[in-house]
Amino acid sequence: MRTVTAGVLAIGYVEDGPAEGWPVVLSHGFPYDVHAYDDVVPLLTAHGARVVRPYLRGHGPTRFLSASTPRSGQQAALGSDLLALLDALSLEAPIIAGYDWGGLASCVVAALWAHRVRGLVSMASYDIIDIAAQRAAHDPALEHAVWYQHLFQTERGRAVLAEHRRELCRLLWRQWSPRWPFDDATFDRTAESFDNPDFVDVVVHAYRHALGTVAGAPDLETLEEHLARRPPITVPAVTLDGADDTLKPGGTADQAGMFTGRHEHRVVGAGHALPFEAPTAFADAVLTVHGWTRA
């Protein structure tokens, strides 16, 4: 594990593969961490990739540099963190890939700073949050699936996350990936990342901002305005759905129009924790983008 100063954070990250290899950044989601890609990494390094796995803000060893920085979890913050990491590590034209929060961060960078990346792999397709649309009521089945987001709107929900974070996160793993028989050791290895002192604040703010109930950080408002205009993603991209992902009933193939470059959508027999459950499929998506864009 290494640490680099990037933007407002000291980002903890893991790096594998040759230093001169073609760069890939794999970003995890909530409530997960870098271990989601443990079985993906060797499939990429075997093809010469330099693989970087950062811990997102509020997770694992990543820390804020200043106590005065808002503990925001909004999408502009996640995207800015990823961009700052690319700059701090001098990663030229990497492929960026992720799921859940990591997919969101990757889509934000690909949409706003396309010149900085070579390609994208995103679970759940165009994973940038339409905050205006989030304010509307949705189908009850979908509202039921995102019950935790509603819980986090309340101070009771904050207390549940703070006091019972492992139990709550284990429940989410089970609900989102109903066919994945993960064991205690797999969960416990990741759950250590939830002990980050900023975990609760970042998570709660992320879902309150996503549902439009709290303001974002003032310095990120311009980026949020750009994202609200739903910018297309122009870089080559492979997008993925988990066929058993209870958070995305029906999948996201209908978002293909948001990708104006070369694009392929795939459905994988997995739940929400797709890199954990189907590492070969995730690695194949990255290798496909690498093949498309290799000079």
| Joined tokens for residue 187 | 């969960």
144 contact partners, CB below 8 Å, separation of at least 6:
none
Q: At what angle are helices 101-112 and 221-228 packed, to 10 degrees?
A: 90
Contact criterion met (CB below 8 Å) for 75 and 221: no
Q: What is the pLDDT of residue 295?
A: 63
For residue 96, name the pLDDT band (cuts at 50, 70, 90): very high
- Rounded Cα distance, 179 and 174, in Å: 8
Predicted local confidence at residue 138, as pLDDT: 82
Contact 4, 10 (CB under 8 A): yes
Mean residue pLDDT of the chain comes to: 97
Taking the C-alpha atoms of residue 206 and residue 98, their distance in angstroms, rounded to an integer, is: 17
Give the pLDDT of residue 46.
98
Average pLDDT over residues 166-195: 98
Each residue's pLDDT tens digit, 29-59: 999 999 999 999 999 999 999 999 999 999 9
**Local structure of 236: helix, strand or coil:** coil
**Parallel, antiparallel or unpaired: strands 119-123 and 237-242:** parallel
User: Residue 109: pLDDT above 80?
Assistant: yes
Whether the per-residue pLDDT at 74 is higher than 70: the answer is yes
What whole-number distance in Å separates Cα of residue 163 and Cα of residue 283? 36
Q: Where does the pLDDT of residue 78 fall: very low under 50, low under 70, confident under 90, or very high at 90 and above?
A: very high
Q: Let me know: does 29 contact 99? Beta carbons within 8 Å.
A: yes
Q: Which helix (H) or strand (E) holds 3?
A: strand 2-6
The number of beta carbons lying within 10 Å of the beta carbon of residue 84 is: 17
The confidence score (pLDDT) of residue 137 equals 83
Q: How is residue 233 annotated by DSSP?
A: B
CA dihedral (125, 129, 130, 133) positive or negative:
positive
Average pLDDT over residues 196-209: 98
Residue 95 CB: number of other CB atoms within 10 A? 30
Sign of CA dihedral 34, 76, 49, 281: positive
pLDDT of residue 50: 98
**For residue 171, what pLDDT is reported?**
98
CA angle 252, 256, 241 (to 5 degrees): 30
